[in-house]
Structure 1
């Protein structure tokens, strides 16, 4: 039995579909066969449904095996996790995704450039489903290059990130705030994505932050990202990002 928790995520699906399947037996069953329940996107289940599912896992352990597939294991009830063996699957390798992109482009008559493929490989993070979603969003264009892909996804383009980083480093607070806010509004950028790319910039390029100052800045980035993920106002968090960087620069100059 295979179900997708994003379609039906409530208690009724657990009580009726899963319990009904688990509690029945084949007419000529030998008793040694196991039923298999595969629940995709299990992290989308409500807490009440997860509690009910925990009892079903316990009650039918003799004849049913359960497979829970999720993107964020932290959203699964700890009691339900403790009854399972956890398997983590690595993201797909870039050469595997590249060959699949080329195969899809040929089959669907999609004209995608080399820099478009490189942008896809960067943005997908080893997730083939994300590749397919991005390709589908861009499929109406005659040519899919990196600019098209970044525009379709709203992810910061490398050239835009260079401007943002230069503004952070060289402009005064109000100017940097105005420039970055305009980037976010005009290009539909997420502040979460900007934070991710800021961290990536520090991995690749040399900036006037190191040691204690860099640790201070990253600690503040963590708090800002947490605030965004828990419903914080993005304009306030943008101001906090710029302020944290300016304070880190002062620490570095001491």
Structure 2
């Protein structure tokens, strides 16, 4: 690619896009391509959502970037900062200074789901690449390849159900496929069972209760779905919104 034609001139990079579209995978591939067999020694990978804050920036990143003794065959070290949009504003401000100070010996690859949460001074110091959601055709094609290698029974409706639930997040799709395979095969019924979607009709019932003024009953039913049947809060909100749209409620 154009990025690798002259690696000594590689800028800092900022990859943005929704979860599961390959941002971290591409970052690791670049590290291997640029740094060779010993890439792990010269790569620092951090998850900002786990280690966010000014101390992480000042201590771990700064220490790694200032460590002397680069191999003559290595153009620079690489610091991958995953979920950089979860860093505090203070941490990002400190990181900006570290990026400036370490630019002779390090390149930063920052990864974010929401680029708007990255401060402008950092964005301006990076080449920004925006990743789009993976298409249904590509996700299903990849799942079919996995199923063939793993000798898992699949049907089109099952694969379509996986895509509809994961909405272009390939990592999530693979995980859901793996969980569904344990039920005996990839079909729509098993996908729904694995993803906890067998209770989506109950969401419609909850909405009807609420509209009818039975707020207490609706609340208890919602708690049952979440606490007993394991439907996540985010999924409940998603399905209640869909139910409202279907019933054309404001």
TM-score of the alignment, normalized to the shorter chain, above 0.5: yes
Q: How does 1:15-164 map to 2 (within 5 A)?
A: 15-20=62-67, 27=72, 36-43=78-85, 50-61=92-103, 64-73=106-115, 76=118, 79-154=121-196, 157-164=199-206
2:27 matched residue in structure 1: none
User: Any idea what the Cα deviations from partners look like across 1:4-56, whole Å, max 9, x if unmatched?
Assistant: 32398334330232333xx6555489xxx676544333345576754443222
Q: What is the CA–CA distance in structure 2 between the aligned matches of 1:19 and 1:202, rounded to whole Å? A: 56
Give the deviation of 1:115 after TM superposition.
3.0
Q: Secondary structure at the match of 1:5?
A: strand
TM-score in terms of structure 2 length: 0.65
- Give me the whole-angstrom Cα distance separating, in 1, the residues matched to 2:242 and 2:43: 39
Structure with greater contact order relative to length (CA < 8 Å, sep ≥ 6): 2
Unmatched segments (≥5 aa) in structure 2: 1-41
**Residue in 1 aligned with 2:45?**
4
Q: Secondary structure at the match of 2:154?
A: coil
Structure 1 gap ranges (5+) = 215-254
Root-mean-square deviation (CA, aligned residues, Å) is 3.3
TM-score normalised by length of structure 1: 0.64
Pair 1:116–1:4, CA change in 2 (3 A): farther
Which residue pairs with 1:251 in the alignment? none
Query: How many residues align structurally?
Result: 203
Could you tell me how far 1:146 is from its partner in structure 2?
A: 3.4
